Amino acid sequence: MRPWLIRHLQVFFYSLGQLWRSPWGTLMSVAVIAISLVLPTALYLALEVVDDLSGQWHSGAEISLFLEPEVSDQAAINLAKKINQRPQVASVDYISATAALEEFRQKSGFGVALDLLDKNPLPGLLRVLPKDNQLSSIQAKAWLLEFSALPEVDQAEYDYAWVQRLQAMVQIGQRLGLIFSILLGGGVVLIIGNTIRLAIFSRRQEIEINKLIGATNGFIRRPFLYSGMQQGALGGLFALAMIYAALSLLAPAVVRLAGTYQSEFTLQIVGWIELLLLPLLGGALGWAGAWLAVGRHLREIEPG
Amino acid sequence: MIRFSEVYKRYPGGGDALKNVGFRLATGEMAFLTGHSGAGKSTLLKLITAIERPTRGQVWIGQENISKIAHRKVPFLRRRIGIIFQDHKLLHDRTVFDNVALPLVVAGLRHQDIRRRVRAALDKVGLLRKERNYPLQLSGGEQQRVGIARAVVGKPPLLLADEPTGNLDPSLSLEIMDLFAEFNRVGVAVLIASHDLELIKQLGYRQLVLSEGELVAGGDSR
């Protein structure tokens, strides 16, 4: 191995050893760092889930026209043709009351209960798909008014509005997450900076002696930088463990909830690479904090 | 090895700590620096190790004028000088071996070389058997010898000692001085600040005498 590599490894293990020798102090600062990292990460993950879910409705930019029960299949098909002639409509699907019941019977598992009903409770449905992927809200409102005025139509619904609202909320959440991340990241830098500052002062004499026997500033700086980086990375690892613990507590409940919606949705949003970012990020923040403290205080300590 | 030329040192808000000091210490020469406390001995040593800079005049170490030495060059100057302190300045949480090894670790030597040279230095001061002890387990005289081993382990051409026998009884002091004389015999220049006049007279090396910041004996004859 090259000498400089050996020297760096020596310092690396030396500062790890220093952390090990004061386990309580180390544990405290690492825990604080971990919590600071967990909060924005958890928020980010939650938003990821919501975004994922809302993405599944993204194609739902359609208008549903629920027909009056007495409208016949033929009348419904005629109406569909009429609506389809409008220039802004891409397509119109007709789902008859019978077909709707069949679909519901298959998907819901209420088959036996449905057999007990003496008549089909479901209405026929026209699904109107506009040419523009997303209708503006004004346009959507105009269409809804127009369609619900048709004699055959019982009720018209545009179910995209709440998706849009949800996405807007997710966006606000993402901004908030960014703000939290910056604040808490700054917090990590300051926490580590302070820990390193205390370490520098408690080893003042050692630093003086090192300077007297010809240590360069780089040599004196190195163990402190490594120490900051290690504390940050350890905090990141702790945060990782916390998030995994939280996910494994949540996952069964989420699967049960998703099950009631006939959804196969599970909590598998975070890849390993994404989570390895946490220790890396922690390490980088720790390094930055140590750099701040070292830059400020090492110069003050001169043999005199 | 050392050359002072018309050196003045004034501390902010104080009088002149050194006034027009000029002297040379030849390569391989040994000399004592004496004078009352406050006469400027410590200031003179601090100028040599670039802890302080002269207000006026020039300080030369070897071929280098260090009166205005750049900060980043200071460590490399100090590696060429072995410094011994009255209070030893040892690290109490490290073994004797690790204390002596410090200058070599700082200089980035290889592990095997460090081992060999530290043991040689400890052998010279007679403490090889105590390499695994911690400084506080040793007597005052032994601690001072650890300090000397640390100063010589890097084989510097110049040793500086600031009151190295200040806390020791006369027979131990003589032992320590003999140790310096031994290093001097193999070509190391030695400058010892001390006010132990009895001992100095006994040894018979050249004396530089400082009084109120002025060199009153042993300096350049001008």
pLDDT tens column, A237-287: 999 889 888 888 887 777 777 777 666 666 555 666 777 888 999 999 999
Give the residue-averaged pLDDT of B182-210. Answer: 91
Q: Taking CA atoms, what residue in A is nearest to B112? A: A3
Q: Are residues B113 and B5 in the same domain?
A: no
Assign residue B43 the CATH number of its domain: 3.40.50.300
Share of chain A above pLDDT 70, in %: 86
pLDDT computed for residue A299 by the predictor:
82
The total of structural domains in chain B comes to 2
pLDDT computed for residue A133 by the predictor:
60
Q: Are residues B15 and B71 in the same domain?
A: yes
Indicate the residue among B140, B155, B170 that finishes a domain.
Answer: B155
Q: Are residues B58 and B163 in the same domain?
A: yes
- Across all residues in chain B, what is the average pLDDT? 91
Question: Is B12 a residue whose pLDDT tops 90?
Answer: no
- Across all residues in chain A, what is the average pLDDT? 82
A219: nearest CB among B51, B91, B106: B106
Indicate the residue among B135, B155, B175 that finishes a domain.
Answer: B155
pLDDT computed for residue A290 by the predictor:
94
**Higher pLDDT residue, B48 or A244?**
B48
Question: Is B221 a residue whose pLDDT tops 60?
Answer: no
Under the banding of pLDDT at 50, 70 and 90, the label for residue B30 is: very high
Long-range contacts of the stretch A292-298 (C-beta < 8 A, 24+) = A292/A189, A292/A193, A293/A192, A293/A193, A293/A194, A293/A196, A293/A197, A293/A200, A293/A224, A293/A228, A294/A196, A294/A200, A294/A221, A294/A224, A294/A225, A296/A197, A297/A197, A297/A200, A297/A201, A298/A200, A298/A207, A298/A217, A298/A220, A298/A221
- Domain extent at residue B181: 1-80+158-222
pLDDT computed for residue B222 by the predictor:
42
CA distance A210 to chain B (A): 8
CATH number of A63-159: 3.30.70.3040
Q: Are residues B141 and B164 in the same domain?
A: no
Under the banding of pLDDT at 50, 70 and 90, the label for residue A4 is: confident
Q: Are residues B149 and B201 in the same domain?
A: no
Interface contact flag, B51 A302, Cβ < 8 Å = yes
Question: Is A229 a residue whose pLDDT tops 90?
Answer: yes
Q: Is residue B17 part of a domain?
A: yes
**Mutation to test the A interface, candidates B42, B105, B159, B160, most A Cβ within 10 Å:** B105
Q: Are residues B19 and B60 in the same domain?
A: yes
Interface contact flag, B102 A209, Cβ < 8 Å = yes
Q: Are residues B208 and B177 in the same domain?
A: yes
Q: Taking CA atoms, what residue in B is nearest to A208? A: B89
Sorted by sequence, the CB contacts under 8 Å of residue B173 that are 6+ apart come out as B165, B196, B199
Q: Is residue B85 part of a domain?
A: no
Give the residue-averaged pLDDT of B39-66. Answer: 92
Give the residue-averaged pLDDT of A43-51. Answer: 79
Domain boundaries, chain A: 3-57+164-297, 63-159
Taking the alpha carbons at both ends of chain A, their separation in whole angstroms is 38
Complex ipTM value: 0.90
CA A177/CA B70 separation, integer angstroms: 47
- Taking only residues 156 to 215 of chain A, the set having a beta carbon closer than 8 angstroms to any beta carbon of chain B reads 205-206, 208-215
Question: Is A47 a residue whose pLDDT tops 90?
Answer: no
- Contact residues, chain B, for A7 at CB < 8 Å: 108
- Taking only residues 243 to 302 of chain A, the set having a beta carbon closer than 8 angstroms to any beta carbon of chain B reads 302
B110: nearest CB among A3, A208, A210: A3
- Contact residues, chain A, for B89 at CB < 8 Å: 205, 208-209, 212
Q: Is residue B141 part of a domain?
A: yes
pLDDT computed for residue B192 by the predictor:
95
Give the residue-averaged pLDDT of B155-162. Answer: 94
Q: Are residues B52 and B121 in the same domain?
A: no
CA distance B80 to chain A (A): 9
Question: Is B207 a residue whose pLDDT tops 80?
Answer: yes
pLDDT computed for residue B182 by the predictor:
93
Question: Is A57 a residue whose pLDDT tops 70?
Answer: no
Q: Taking CA atoms, what residue in B is nearest to A206? A: B91
Q: Taking CA atoms, what residue in A is nearest to B72? A: A216
- What would the pLDDT profile of B96-105 be if each residue is shown by its tens digit? 999 999 999 9
Q: Are residues B40 and B130 in the same domain?
A: no
Q: Is residue B64 part of a domain?
A: yes
